[in-house]
Amino acid sequence: MLHAPVSEKKREFPPERWAEIARKLVHELSFQVVLTGTSSERNYTQSLQQLIGNNAFSVAGLFTIDELIALVANTSVLLSVNTGPVHIAAAVNTPVVVLYALTNPQHTPWKVLNKVLYFDVPASLQSKNEVLRYVYHHVMEKPLVMPSPDEITDAVRLIASKSGFFVQSTV
């Protein structure tokens, strides 16, 4: 399951990168990719589906919250930015790989099998919270770069295999 839409621009991951990652999951790991979101995000997930191609399915807006929870509970791994479905996954013990915009790092880990891959937030979108700003400016040694599609695919492969999901590489 891939949840790409965000409610805040600072957590946004580029659609072209999402598509590249999803194509790798389809071709290298033989995954089917289910794209989730709300009904207002349907155009976004359908565009993403077109970029990905075969074995990608947009289901944005098709489910009630109860049905979405059931879908998350029955997926092998959730790949998402730091947003609501990650918290649902933690609640139902679904493994997660999170592309985490460095916004609120105190919200991790989720006590579920996970891999967190941080990426930087543009200065204009960084938190105004003084504690978070201090941590960002005094603890971070250097700016974070977006994780590569290979890093993300490797993280999904690792989490899926650790969770008992058989992952066979086709490469």
Higher pLDDT, 32 or 163: 32
CA distances to 86, 107, 138, 169 from 4, rounded to whole Å, are: 11, 19, 30, 24
Q: Give the list of residues 6+ apart from residue 105 with CB closer than 8 angstroms, or none.
A: 118, 132, 135
pLDDT > 80? residue 119: no
Lowest mean pLDDT among 19-23, 50-54, 83-87: 83-87
Q: Is the pTM of this model over 0.75?
A: yes
**33 — pLDDT class (breaks 50, 70, 90):** very high
Which has the closest alpha carbon to 152: 33, 8, 49?
33
**CATH architecture for residues 2-162:** 3-Layer(aba) Sandwich (3.40)
Q: 79 - beta bridge partners?
A: 2, 97
**18 — pLDDT class (breaks 50, 70, 90):** very high
pLDDT > 70? residue 12: yes
Our CA angle for 39, 41, 45, nearest 5°, is 110
Q: At what angle do helices 84-91 and 65-73 cross, to 10 degrees?
A: 60
DSSP sequence for 88-139: HHHHTT--EEEEEETT-GGG---SSSEEEEEE---GGGS---HHHHHHHHHT
Residue with tokens 């598509």: 19
Mean pLDDT calculated for residue range 41-67: 97
Q: What is the pLDDT of residue 3?
A: 96
**9 — pLDDT class (breaks 50, 70, 90):** confident
